[in-house]
Structures are given as C-alpha cells and as structure tokens.
C-alpha cells in the first residue's frame, strides 16, 4: 500500500490541498474546526487498506488550502462548490462523503444541494436541522445562548483571533481538541471563550504531543481567520438556503455522535436524533451513539473506522 500523498488542485477558483491514499471507490473525508486533513489520519490508512481511494482535503480557509479574505466567501455554496470541483477533477461522478463538525455541516448540504453526486454519507457530531424560516441562524444562536456562546464570540472579525493570540498555537489546539465538558461552550461575562476553556495537565491516551503539534504548526502558518470565517457566514447561509426550505436529505446516511459531546443532552440533541423530525428529514437514516466526546474520529478512531467501513460495505461497487 502506498503512503499518503499530497497535492493541490484548482477548484471553484481556489487552490485546495488534498491528502490521498489507496485505490477503489472514492471516499471524501471532510474535517471540522480547528482541524486539517490530519484529523482523519487513522481512517485514511484504514479505508485505503480496505480497498478505497481516500481523499481528505483541507477545507477552504484551513491548512495548505487557499483562504479567501472575505467572510462572505465561506458559505455552504462555496464549500459545496469546492467539493463538486474536486469530484470533477478526480473524474468521479459520485463519492462516499464523511464529515465531522464543520465538515458534517458541509456534507449535509452537499447531499441537500447535489444528491446525485453522493453515493452515501456518514456524518459525525453535527446533526442536520431544517432551516428555520423565521430566524437567521447566527442571530438565533446568540438569542438562545447569549453573547458568551462560542459562536457569538466568533462573529466579530478579528476578535477571536486577538484572544487566541494570547496563547501559543499548541495551547489553543489543546483547548479545543481535548474538550471533555458536556455543557455548552459559554464564557462568563467579560471573558473570551479561549480564556474560558481549560488546558488539560495530561494528555488523553488517544493523542500525542507530536500529533497536536502537527495542528499547531499548520495553524501557525495559516492563522485562524479562514477557519473562523465559516461561523461569520452563518446568517448569509440562512439567506442563501431559502430555496431548500423543508427539503429532505435524499441519500443514505449514517450519523454518529458521542454521548459525551458538547450540549448533547442539555440541548435536547439526544431526543432530536432519536425522534421523528430527524428521521422525517432523512428517510434513509442510521444513528449510532458512541461512548465518546466531540472529536470521535480521533478519540475512538478504531470504532469510527469500523463503523464507516460497515456502512460503505452496504454499497457494493458497480
């Protein structure tokens, strides 16, 4: 089996870096915040060794991919356009699409906008919700959770970046990737979210200092603005997605979530994904709850890899 290879391709007007390995049916792995392609390192080799062509891009704004300056360049339209261009570049009409966190939100909307390009989808950590016709998403979150909510803190350009800059890059990465709290990420009045988040004194067994340093080094090169711009386009997304109001996800989906994920119980996510509304929006749905936190593909990498593979196996190559 060849090692992971890297290249940059032109898609949707920008250059996107991809890591890839293996031959066979195409599997796209879309990472979350604050991550890069490397968050899928365990799944890349696992799936490649089981007969798949695995491609993990750095999303626009991250890693070695381009970071357009304007927050308005980070809508679902842009991300989905990047993925469609990637599929075209690879000469593939369809792909299996796996997304985590921000990547899951993008995968949901890829399935919503262009279902004919998605053979099946596996999403981790972020469920699909129908668009609320009466309230913009960003405004709704701020109204519900207040100014201390992490997404609220990310809205003003430069604010989170200035707060993050009070710490070295490795500490910032640790504060996010090693989160174990299950309540919402809401800072007390007068405190920034990065100051509110703790820094563990010991690393969990599923990640090493050297692995965390890979993220830190890459964000030291790219900065955080491109990654944060996703959150600054939430209200623009609400405006642009009005034509899909009430639409269903018409591709087969496996949804995985950690039972100790942030806000899983207190926000009613458990009841939502077990209830009828979620299943009505996604008629062909399988739900798996794991004993883990938010960054499942790393914390529970073997279990997540096997869950992905078992789902892919339901769709034999034509």
**Mean pLDDT over residues 189-193, rounded?**
94
Asked, for residue 185, whether it belongs to a domain, the answer is yes
293 flagged as catalytic: no
Asked, for residue 113, whether it belongs to a domain, the answer is yes
Active-site option among 58, 66, 82, 101: 101
Asked, for residue 163, whether it belongs to a domain, the answer is yes
Q: What is the pLDDT of residues 92-122, one digit of tens each?
A: 999 999 999 999 999 999 999 999 999 999 9
Quote the domain boundaries for residue 35.
Answer: 5-313
Active-site option among 109, 293, 294, 301: 294
Asked, for residue 95, whether it belongs to a domain, the answer is yes
Answer whether residue 265 shows pLDDT above 90.
no
Asked, for residue 115, whether it belongs to a domain, the answer is yes
Asked, for residue 278, whether it belongs to a domain, the answer is yes
Residue 1 has a pLDDT of 56
Residue 254 has a pLDDT of 98
Active-site option among 231, 261, 293, 295: 231
Q: How far apart are CA 123 and CA 249, in angstroms?
A: 12
Domain count, the chain: 1
Can you give 217-244 as a three-state secondary structure string? HHHHHHCCHHHHHHHHCHHHHHHHCHHH
Instruction: Report the predicted TM-score, pTM, of the whole model to 2 decimal places.
Output: 0.97
**Mean pLDDT over residues 238-262, rounded?**
96
Asked, for residue 318, whether it belongs to a domain, the answer is no
Asked, for residue 104, whether it belongs to a domain, the answer is yes
Q: How far apart are CA 269 and CA 197, in angstroms?
A: 22
Answer whether residue 139 shows pLDDT above 90.
no
Q: What is the pLDDT of residues 33-84, one digit of tens each?
A: 999 999 999 999 999 999 999 999 999 999 999 999 999 999 999 999 999 9
Q: What is the pLDDT of residues 74-91, one digit of tens each?
A: 999 999 999 999 999 999
Tell me if 278 sits within 8 A of 108, measured CB to CB.
Answer: no
Task: Output the average pLDDT for the chain.
Answer: 96
Q: What is the pLDDT of residues 148-165, one digit of tens each?
A: 999 999 999 999 999 999
Q: CATH number for the domain including 156?
A: 3.40.50.1820
66 flagged as catalytic: no
Q: What is the pLDDT of residues 173-185, one digit of tens each?
A: 999 999 998 999 9
294 flagged as catalytic: yes
Question: Looking up tokens 């039972």, which residue turns up?
Answer: 259
Residue 177 has a pLDDT of 97
């Amino acid at each position: 089996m060849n090692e992971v290879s890297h290249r940059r391709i032109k898609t949707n007007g920008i250059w996107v870096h991809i890591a890839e390995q293996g031959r066979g049916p195409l599997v796209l792995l879309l990472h979350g915040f604050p991550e890069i392609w490397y968050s899928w390192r365990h799944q890349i080799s696992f799936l490649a060794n089981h007969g798949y062509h695995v491609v993990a891009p750095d999303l626009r704004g991250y890693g070695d991919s381009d970071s357009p300056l304007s927050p308005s360049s980070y809508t679902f339209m842009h991300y989905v356009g990047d993925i469609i261009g990637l599929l075209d570049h690879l000469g593939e009409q369809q792909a299996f699409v796996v997304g985590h966190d921000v990547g899951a939100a993008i995968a949901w909307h890829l399935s919503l906008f262009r279902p004919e390009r998605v053979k099946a989808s596996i999403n981790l950590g972020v469920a699909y919700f129908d668009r609320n016709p009466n309230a913009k998403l960003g405004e709704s979150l701020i109204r519900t959770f207040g100014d201390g909510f992490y997404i609220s803190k990310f809205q003003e350009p430069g604010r989170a970046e200035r707060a993050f800059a009070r710490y070295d890059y490795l500490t910032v990465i640790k504060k996010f990737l090693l989160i174990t709290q299950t309540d919402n990420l809401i800072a007390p009045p007068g405190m920034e979210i990065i100051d509110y988040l703790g820094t563990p004194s010991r690393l969990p067994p599923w990640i090493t200092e050297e692995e965390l340093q890979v993220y830190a080094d890459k964000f030291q090169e790219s900065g955080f603005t491109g990654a944060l711009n996703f959150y600054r386009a939430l209200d623009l997304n609400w405006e642009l997605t009005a034509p899909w109001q009430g639409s269903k996800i018409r591709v087969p989906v496996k949804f995985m979530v950690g039972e100790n994920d942030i806000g899983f119980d207190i926000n009613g996510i458990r009841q939502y994904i077990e209830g009828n509304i979620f299943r009505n929006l996604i008629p062909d749905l399988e739900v798996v709850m794991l004993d883990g936190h938010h960054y499942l593909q790393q914390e529970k990498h073997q279990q997540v890899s096997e869950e992905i593979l078992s789902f892919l196996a339901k769709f034999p190559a034509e």
